[in-house]
Amino acid sequence: MNRWFLIYCKPNQEARAEINLTRQGFTIYRPTANVTKQTPTGRQTSAKAKPLFPRYLFIHVDPTVQSIAPVASTLGVVQIVRFGSEFACASDRLINEIKMYEQKRLTEQDCRNKLVKGDVVYLDTHGFDQIKAIYCNPCGDERAMILMNILGNQSKVRVPLQSLSKQVPLSA
């Protein structure tokens, strides 16, 4: 039966481990998140894929069909994660949820990267669910300035960029 084993890698060697394990015929999953840096003037530089779980990746294998012994001696790999004598395994459901999270994050990031001054946005964060605002400008790498109505007055507020959405949140 195929299972997702958790692999612990050397620092910054996740990609190397993935390449070497793939060459050995293993199915690998390395969750990533695109990180976009911005200059102080607000211009965005290119997005770079970073590991969602630094130093970890998942390997999908049926240990009754293919031996996992070579994994520990693969370049870039430190070890297969264990809890006592049991290997750490992730369920298919967990892996699918991580993949869905990755896709959702990419979609939201594409939307945030396309924000321009004057766009209508919605706050999607605890305590401010479904609040409508106007996007003003980025403030650093991870924050943005918005214009929102607070107690009948228009106020500029800095919020985490990840809490903004161009679509009405699903709970609306």
Asked if 83 and 125 sit in the same domain, the reply is no
Reported as half-sphere exposure (CB side, CA atoms, 13 A), residue 85 has a value of 0
Residue 172 lies in a domain: no
Asked if 40 and 107 sit in the same domain, the reply is yes
Query: What's the mean pLDDT in 1-16?
Result: 93
What phi and psi, each to the nearest 5 degrees, are found at residue 130? Answer: 65, 20
CATH number at residue 56: 3.30.70.940
Residue 170 lies in a domain: no
Q: Which domain holds residue 161?
A: 120-165
Convert the pLDDT of each residue in 26-57 to its tens digit. 999 999 887 666 556 555 555 677 888 999 99
Asked if 13 and 67 sit in the same domain, the reply is yes
Q: Is the pTM of this model over 0.75?
A: no
pLDDT in the model for residue 138: 76
The pLDDT-based confidence of 172 (bands split at 50, 70, 90) is very low
CB 126 within 8 Å of CB 106? no
Please tell me the total count of domains within the chain. Answer: 2
Convert the pLDDT of each residue in 52-97 to its tens digit. 899 999 999 998 899 999 999 999 999 999 999 999 999 999 999 9
